[in-house]
Amino acid sequence: MALPLLACLLFHLAALAHAQPSPGYRPSSLRRPIRFRQGYSNLWGPTHQTLSQDQYSLTMWLDRTSGSGFKSNRPYRNGYFGASIKLQSGYTAGVNTAFYLSNDQAHPGYHDEVDIEFLGTTPGKPYTVQTNVYVRGSGDGRLIGREVRFHLWFDPTTDFHHYAIIWNPDQIIFLVDDVPIRRYAKSSSAQWTFPDRPMWMYGSIWDASPWATENGKYKVEYRFEPFVARYTGFKIEGCSAFAPAWCRPVAASPAGGGLSAQQHAAMEWVRRNYLVYDYCEDSSKDHSQTPECGR
């Protein structure tokens, strides 16, 4: 009897270790969804977008002729930016489905960016979610990526899940279903490592074959086209670039400062069980330009 009881106990302990903890604070519930055109417009690939009749949902797809993208109607200097997204199952290698902040059109070659990217995969392997922060970077060799990647504790192809970025003057929080998965804080000693210029919110689906899936090992196979991404539950709230100076930034926690103890515990649970890669732990990286890794 002792061995079956021990096995049962170990099973339950393992289940508890992987049970999703509550973050205690759900910022998505404080904001109502908006119609797509209230906050966004098509940016490229208009023939590869379909807007639902009520305008609350958008479908985009990639095929051999084009991908597609959208952009917020106004730039923001801080805010809450969220959307519920459902990804395609099956072979999606090389396909990048993204929801991100950027000012690359305003500052070409010297832009800021805050990314949530879903890196396509092959059957039987989980999706990877890549979060990233660029600060005054470019594509000419000076671009310094701050990639942190995760697997998810659910299958993102079976239902919609809510992905969000909270960006305020002190920190950037990446959230999945209100669970913080990453916090990127502003440093008082190295302020050039934090984006502080207005950015627009974007969404896109595109061919990132050279690097997206296992460092480019697997490419987009257009015999499986179209590759479809579905967005709904658009939530956007914050201080636009044109808002008065007294506009208050969106808080990341109930207390209004950094993450609460419960939120921090939930984030540590994600890191402990689902972290795939952290640039600060990559010894091949030159960390002289990423002083936040020493904190």
Distance of alpha carbon 229 from alpha carbon 160, whole angstroms: 10
**Sequence-distant (≥ 6) Cβ neighbours of residue 95 within 8 angstroms:** 62, 88, 120, 205, 206, 207, 208, 212, 220, 227
Q: Which of 113, 147, 237, 281 is catalytic?
A: 113
- CA–CA distance, 256 with 210 (Å, rounded to integer): 41
Enter the tokens of residue 186.
């502003």
Distance of alpha carbon 26 from alpha carbon 10, whole angstroms: 32
Among the listed residues 117, 132, 137, the one whose alpha carbon sits nearest the alpha carbon of residue 197: 137
Question: Hey, what are 96's tokens?
Answer: 């990048």
Told to judge if 117 belongs to the known catalytic residues of this protein, a careful annotator would answer: yes
Q: Does the active-site annotation cover 237? A: no
Please enumerate in sequence order all residues whose Cβ is within 8 A of that of 94, keeping only pairs 6 or more positions apart, or say none.
120, 207, 208, 209, 212, 213, 218, 219, 220, 221
Q: Which of 117, 147, 268, 292 is catalytic?
A: 117
Measured distance CA(7)–CA(10) in Å, rounded: 5
Active-site residue numbers?
Answer: 113, 117
